[in-house]
Amino acid sequence: MLAAVGAGAVGFFAYRYKHPAPEELIAADPAPSDSVDHEELATPDSPKAKSIPDALPDFTLADRDGRPTKLSSFGGRPLMVNFWATWCAPCRREIPLLNKIRMQRKSQNAEIVGVAVDFRDDVLKFVAKVAIDYPLLIGEEDGLAAAEAFGMGMAFPFSVFADSQGRILTVKVGELHEDEANFAFDRLRDIDNDVLTLEAAQAAVTDAFREMSAERAQAEAGVKPNSAK
């Protein structure tokens, strides 16, 4: 395990060296060419995601003020954990959406936690210019180890949705979209209200996300949904 984390850390520093912090911020972002941008999701029991745990692993990273903070300190509520980096264009584009979703979901007692896997100085410099209105944890090799605890590597961004008991609903790999975020948080609400079981909610998210992704692909190709071939 230590060897794996060590190798990951070397990979992190090598990749980060080649991708310095961007001078341009969200409004000037180019097309997403500098980051993995998969339209994928996974549940703990899906065949392609066997390494994703059933429940949120706990870890401790420093917050933006340098205080060691456990992920479990945000538990007991619907939670989204968003892994990102300053050099990742899709990550930067997500930030205004995450600010918006967090504000809208206050009545649900939901929370969003950002985990920046990047050099601390670069993250602090970035957030001094770009508002992030949700809790932020920062880690370099320890941040990468946190990502690996979810069965993920440097496939940023990725977002983990978990219910109030810390059970993972789904993991979205790639840029998160508003319809996906709202659908996932609605299903977390259904779980908390005993409207759906976790398994039924996972199935609903899988089907809905796949349909949303297909509709976006059609729209980008200029094809109307459900149009005749």
The residue count of the chain comes to 229
Residue-wise pLDDT for 175-221, tens only, equals: 999 999 999 999 999 999 999 999 999 999 999 999 999 999 999 88
Give every CB contact of residue 181 below 8 A, 6+ residues apart in sequence.
Answer: 80, 97, 98, 101, 159
Alpha carbon distance 83, 122 (integer Å): 15
Q: Report residue 108 as tokens.
A: 């649900």
Q: Under a CB-based contact definition with an 8 Å cutoff, are residues 93 and 127 in contact?
A: no
Q: Under a CB-based contact definition with an 8 Å cutoff, are residues 147 and 154 in contact?
A: yes
Residue-wise pLDDT for 15-66, tens only, equals: 555 555 554 444 334 333 344 444 565 655 554 444 899 999 999 999 999 9
CATH of domain 44-175: 3.40.30.10
pLDDT for 97 equals 98
pLDDT for 31 equals 37
CB half-sphere exposure, 34, CA atoms < 13 A: 19
Domain ranges, ordered by start, for the chain: 44-175
Alpha carbon distance 227, 207 (integer Å): 20
Q: What is the pTM of this model?
A: 0.82
